[in-house]
């Protein structure tokens, strides 16, 4: 089943080394009811982009660790097609050409007004098409994104917000081990007081719901590393 993209909350990655600007951009996105991860260097930006699913990446050119040109080139070399909007303090046509040739989809010069940035983000998402999947699947499980329901065969159960967000992350990264730190950052937020035992509690809730559904899927704990979804032959 499909729904129009605008029916869903967009998820963005902001990679900007000017901390005040990066945090301000994150707040602007949250005011639009968008989800946003904010990182401050190219190395973290590459890691987040390669290990998560985003609708748009907002990427500064001048970054510590790895510049924006190299970062977007690595993304495209890894076959990650997420739209990239590059930001720069230089109104230099050479930089714009370099960024676009590296694989960026759009380019903005600082300073800019938030309304134009938001309009460009909307335009980038429209270029991807007007529909996205309503369901996320892993083996015999189906996660219904608009209803926060989880089903297996003829049985279905509703998930709480945090159960839903944790399971969505696990299903979106089925071959990856997701650490407790990453889950806390993504689900509770970087400024929360959540601890490891909060994650453990929600993993326990999810395991009980998987057992209720009779699914072949399990959530495995890899000690000192994190969690991963597994099937009977994993």
Final residue in a domain of this structure, among 131, 163, 178:
131
Please state the pTM of the whole predicted model. 0.55
Cα within 13 Å of Cα(233), Cβ side? 1
Tell me the average confidence (pLDDT) per consecutive run of 10 residues in the chain, 234 residues long.
Answer: 46 94 92 90 94 90 93 87 86 75 86 89 71 73 86 92 89 86 84 86 95 95 90 79
In angstroms, the CA 45 to CA 36 distance is: 12
Domain containing residue 168:
134-230
CATH number, domain of 224, equals 1.10.10.10
CATH number, domain of 21, equals 3.40.50.2300
Q: Are 213 and 154 in contact (CB under 8 A)?
A: no
Q: Which residues make Cβ contacts (< 8 Å) with residue 179, sequence separation at least 6? A: 225, 226
Q: For residue 86, give Cα distances in angstroms to 17, 70, 82, 215.
A: 13, 12, 13, 43
Is there a domain that residue 63 lies in? yes
pLDDT score recorded for residue 7: 39
pLDDT score recorded for residue 24: 94
Same domain, 123 and 143: no
pLDDT score recorded for residue 6: 42
pLDDT score recorded for residue 102: 82
In angstroms, the CA 54 to CA 42 distance is: 16
Same domain, 115 and 142: no
**Tally of domains within the chain:** 2
Same domain, 111 and 163: no
Q: Are 87 and 16 in contact (CB under 8 A)?
A: yes
Same domain, 30 and 60: yes
Q: Are 65 and 41 in contact (CB under 8 A)?
A: yes
């Amino acid at each position: 089943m499909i729904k129009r993209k605008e029916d869903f909350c967009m998820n963005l990655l902001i990679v900007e080394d000017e901390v005040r600007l990066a945090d301000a951009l994150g707040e602007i996105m949250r005011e639009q009811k968008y989800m946003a991860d904010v990182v401050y260097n190219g190395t973290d930006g590459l890691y987040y982009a390669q290990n998560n699913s985003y609708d748009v990446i907002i990427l500064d050119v001048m970054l510590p660790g790895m510049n924006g040109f190299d970062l977007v080139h690595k993304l495209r070399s890894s076959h990650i097609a997420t739209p990239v909007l590059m930001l720069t303090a230089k109104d230099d046509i050479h930089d714009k050409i370099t960024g676009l040739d590296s694989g960026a989809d759009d380019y903005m010069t600082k300073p800019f007004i938030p309304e134009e940035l938001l309009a460009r983000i909307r335009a980038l998402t429209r270029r991807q098409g007007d529909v996205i999947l309503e369901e996320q699947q892993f083996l015999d499980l189906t996660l219904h994104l608009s209803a926060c329901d989880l089903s297996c065969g003829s049985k279905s159960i509703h998930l709480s917000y945090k159960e839903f967000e944790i399971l969505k992350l696990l299903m979106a990264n089925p071959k990856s081990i997701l650490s407790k730190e990453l889950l806390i950052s993504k689900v509770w937020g970087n400024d929360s007081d959540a601890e490891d035992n909060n994650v453990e509690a929600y993993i326990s809730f999810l395991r009980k719901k998987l057992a209720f559904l009779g699914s072949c899927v399990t959530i495995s704990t890899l000690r000192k590393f994190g969690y991963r979804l597994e099937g009977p032959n994993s």
